[in-house]
Structure 1
Amino acid sequence: MSDTPVEKLSFEEAMKELESVVNQLDHGDVALDRSIALYERGAALKKRCEDELKRAEEKVAAITLDNDGNPTGTAPVEGN
């Protein structure tokens, strides 16, 4: 488990650490206190990944296309 604050991790870093947390919890040989800490970290990592995916989806959704489906530019994403 990394000491880096979750909000400072890139999507890729958060996803990799989340996979590690899940693997550790799946083995079931972790002490209860450690399991709780891992679970809490995992929940924060999951939220970070979801938030980053949502931001990426909003950017992709903002790409404007012409009648042939070719990208013509971007439109402002509402709410940002």
Structure 2
Amino acid sequence: MAEDPQNISDMSFEEALRALQQVVRQLEDGEVPLDQSIALYERGEKLRAACQARLDAAQARIEAIVLDAKGQPSGTKPFDGSE
């Protein structure tokens, strides 16, 4: 396994997602010894958590456009995902 020396917290979302996809491919190939598979799985979980945190943060920043009674934009409100 070629360990990516880049710290996960320093990665962009896209870099972390690509690294996670690489981990999944390596695990699916089944050619990695058990100890390395465990290390890959642990790194994959950290990458998944980092991606999810970035997605959650992005969702929290999204604002929904509020329309008035005439259907015209009248402002914004925080997106809460319940609509």
**Normalising by the residue count of structure 2, what TM-score does the alignment of the two structures yield?**
0.76
Alpha carbons 1:14, 1:45 under 8 Å: kept = yes
Aligned residues: 73
Q: Which residue of 2 aligns with 1:23?
A: 25
Q: Counterpart in 2 of 1:44?
A: 46
Separation in 2, partners of 1:69, 1:42: 45
- By percentage of residues, which structure has more helix? 1
Query: What's the % identity of the aligned pairs?
Result: 36
> Residues 3 and 69 (structure 1 numbering): CA distance in 2 closer, same or farther, change over 3 Å?
farther
Three-state SS of the structure 1 residue aligned to 2:26 is helix
Per the TM alignment, residue 66 of structure 1 is displaced from its structure 2 partner at its CA by 3.2
The change in CA–CA distance for 1:38 and 1:72 in structure 2 (over 3 A counts) is same
Moved over 6 A (4+): none
In structure 2, runs of 5+ residues without a counterpart are 79-83
1:78 match:
none
Q: Which structure is larger by alpha-carbon Rg, 1 or 2?
A: 2
Structure with greater strand percent: 2
Per-residue CA deviation, residues 30-68 of structure 1 (Å, 9 max, x unaligned), is 0112111111100000000000000000001xx252313
Contact 1:64 1:71 in 2 (8 A): no
TM-score, normalised by the number of residues in structure 1: 0.79
